[in-house]
Chain A
Amino acid sequence: MRKFLLTVAWLRMLPSLRQIFSSLGALMDIGYAFVVLTGVGRMDLIVKGWQDFGSRKPVLNLTPSPSKLEYIFFHNVFSQGKKMAETDVKQQIKDYVQTMHEQGILDHNFENVQNLQCQENPHFVLEIIDMFCRDAEICIAEMAKYVDEPVVDYAKVTGFIHQLKGSSSSVGGCRIVVACRELRKATENKMKEGCLEACNKIKREYFVVRDNLNAIAKMERSIHTDDAMAGIF
């Protein structure tokens, strides 16, 4: 842990040297890095504080209370680490989505959803995934209910197919879309057996998409919590 902190202190010095004449904060970093490297600072106590913030937001657990220099150093290093973790997770999500493309589970429409996420709405992808799963499960349950009845209300089933197909295509769930087309055809031909088979296929495809979207959602959530930081330490 000490070696890591020393390494980070050195790394922090490099950009600080470039900003030496323009940033008081950078001067403080250099000053504090000198203190840390020469062992003049409260190294033992800072290590304790570092370990403490792995699970919660950073709290500098020092007695007496941290000086401004200590706080600034601590905060800067934490921010650097957090940015590094966030970049890693974003790349993981990108790679994961690419894999989903290659397997034909998601199409380009999911990337359109991701592109709509912005600073004003950083949780947009999470919200859409939640919305999709909630709506899809309702549609699938209702379709299954109507198809299961002795006399199938094909008009009702068609309404839910439209809804599910619309939402699935909007998030890139292309396999569910294909299954919906099959069910639509079966309802047009008023074939109960065909409807039952297609309903089961929709369920299977939905579970695949849902599990993969939930994996993406988990990664998205980690960007927004301190979990990303805990992974580094």
Chain B
Amino acid sequence: MAPTIESVNQGNGGFEGNNKRSDRFVKATWKNKLTALVVDNGELCRVLERENLRAYGVETVAVETGEAAVELIASGSTFNLIFIDMYLPTMSGPEAVRQIRAMGARSKIIGLTAFITEKDEQDFFAAGIDEFFEKPLDPDWFVPIIREVDNQI
């Protein structure tokens, strides 16, 4: 059964990043409780993407396939951010994004790939992503995205 993710709360005091690692990470303080979904069939990439986001205070769920992601959204789970790999087995990243958008999801969707090519970029943006980056996740680019989402809520 797909997990239920709590909807975003408008907190008063702010939600702090995981300050158990604060001696190395910039202590992230968000106005809202942020949630993210990571979709990557590579175990190592999936684990690192999830842990990177959690380190910055984003409650993150990680799944292996596009189908699992679509099922999660279809079950009613909502996420502020979705990080999705281009190349997924069976259901590709662009196809999963198309289905997620067709369900009315308004999450900020960030496409990921090992190699950015012009064709992949066009396909992925046409499917409905908002941003497209080469792996791995780097705080230099994903923290501003999280901040932007936090400010928009």
Name A's B-contacting residues (CB within 8 A). Answer: 109, 112-113, 115-116, 118-120, 124, 127-128, 131-132, 135, 159, 161-163, 165-167, 169-171, 180-181, 184
Contacts and interface: CB of A to CB of B under 8 A. Distances in A.
B77 interface: no
Interface string B74-111: 00000000000111000000000000000000000000
Nearest to B136: A170
B142 to A, nearest CB: 12
B114 A163 contact: yes
B86 to A, nearest CB: 8
A112 B44 contact: no
Contact of B45 (A112, A120, A167): A167
Residue among B52, B55, B115 with the highest chain A CB neighbour number at 10 A: B115
B42 A135 contact: yes
A212 to B, nearest CB: 17
Interface string B125-153: 00000000011101100000000000000
A119 B24 CA distance: 13
A159 B55 CA distance: 29
A227 B18 CA distance: 31
A163 B41 CA distance: 9
B20 A166 contact: no
Given A119-B20, A181-B115, A167 B44 contact: yes
Nearest to A185: B115
